[in-house]
Amino acid sequence: MLKAWTGLACPLTSLEMTLRTRGQDLTYTEGFIEHWLQPILYHDAPAWVFTLGYTLFGLAVAACWWYFPPEPFRSRRRART
């Protein structure tokens, strides 16, 4: 959060870059998260893949709500009968 407010680089990223430079290793220009985790967290796929995934997830949620109604709805129905 501090990085977002101040725009400063994370001290651990700065340390990593310093050590990489001293060890004559390659450095990268973006931050740690962007460089190492972005390929894992964000996938490049056609739009239809995400649309299909969101649709299937939505249908699964709707089916769960239908098959296992939330507790307040069940108890109201039982109380009325």
| Best CA proximity match to 27, nearest among 42, 13, 7, 10 | 13
Question: Residue 80: what pLDDT?
Answer: 55
Helices and strands: H and E segment counts in the chain: 6, 0
pLDDT 10s digits, 36-58: 788 788 778 888 888 999 999 99
Distance of alpha carbon 66 from alpha carbon 74, whole angstroms: 11
**Is residue 77 within a helix (H) or strand (E), and if so which, with residue range?**
helix 71-80
Distance of alpha carbon 20 from alpha carbon 34, whole angstroms: 17
The answer, as to whether pTM is greater than 0.75, is no
- The residue ranges of the chain whose pLDDT is under 50 are none
Q: Which residues touch 28 (CB under 8 Å, ≥6 apart)?
A: 35
